[in-house]
Structure 1
Amino acid sequence: MTAAHTDVERVEAANAAFYEALERGDFEQVSSLWLTPADLGVDETYHDPADTGVVSCVHPGWPVLTGRGEVLRSYALIMANTDYIQFFLTDVHVSVTGDTAVVTCTENILSGGPAPDDGEELGPLVGQLVVATNVFRRTPDGWKLWSHHASPVLAENDEAEDEETPS
């Protein structure tokens, strides 16, 4: 197995771990998957750790979030307000160049609540189709997220309605 092939597999595993941690609502795991100033070799006594390395995130319909603190707060907010979420990833493509990797995928998201527990019925679920780009950077501890950008995909009938609407 080549080093490039191994890198692709490790990036795929890091990407999958990110979505699995979101599904479990595991904030500590989600946090551990994002770059830290230490991952970048930055001395935090001279730089604000929230801005160093400028991790970024764009959730569908949200403005760009920059800095580790702002990005992680957004995930804490999402987890606190989501009873159930499941990601079915399709069209996953990984590209690795040096210490940077880009993953593009389609997130087929099923969310709602409350989560199933002991045979209880699941409340109303909402499906959403989102395309995402996840940028990873190699660190001594493995591949970590540098940036996540997700955008909703318009349904076919949404596009047809847009075309019929006069400008």
Structure 2
Amino acid sequence: MIRLNRRPAALLALAAALALAGCTPVTPEAAPTVTAPSASAPTASSSAPPVAPSFVADGSAADNLPLFTQVVQTVWAGPDRAAGRAYVDALVAAGFDKTAMQVTADQTTIGNAAESIEFSVRWQDDCLVGQVGPSIGDPVAAVLPGLTAGGCLIGQTRTIDW
């Protein structure tokens, strides 16, 4: 009976693997970059133009977040970016219910421009909430839980009477 010692074969295989690994340049992997596709440009895998977000009357707040976000970004890019009324009016034009909205003041109590403006639309038990202003940078839009007392925003809001 012939006995083979397996230890030298294993060492030889390990040495070969290490030698081959030394032939491959080692470069640190870059962190993956994640970007959202542009709403204006189709992706490489898509031949159809992108579909613009639309109002989903029987949908959830999350279903309507893309349209809410688009409205916020459009107003922010315009001349009335610091006017709460502009956001309310644009959201109404997009199909959102004005009676379910809240908005904070455009000015401080001493007449200075507000550092940020918040506005919201109550949607069942949730809220679509937007915030814009020089103190926060890019506009923010999110779905948040509604307040148990009703409404979406904590603190003083202005009356939407137009």
TM-score tier (shorter): under 0.3
Greater Rg over alpha carbons, structure: 2
TM-score, normalisation: structure 1: 0.26
Higher normalized contact order (CA 8 Å, seq sep 6+, divided by chain length): 1
Q: TM-score, normalised by structure 2?
A: 0.26
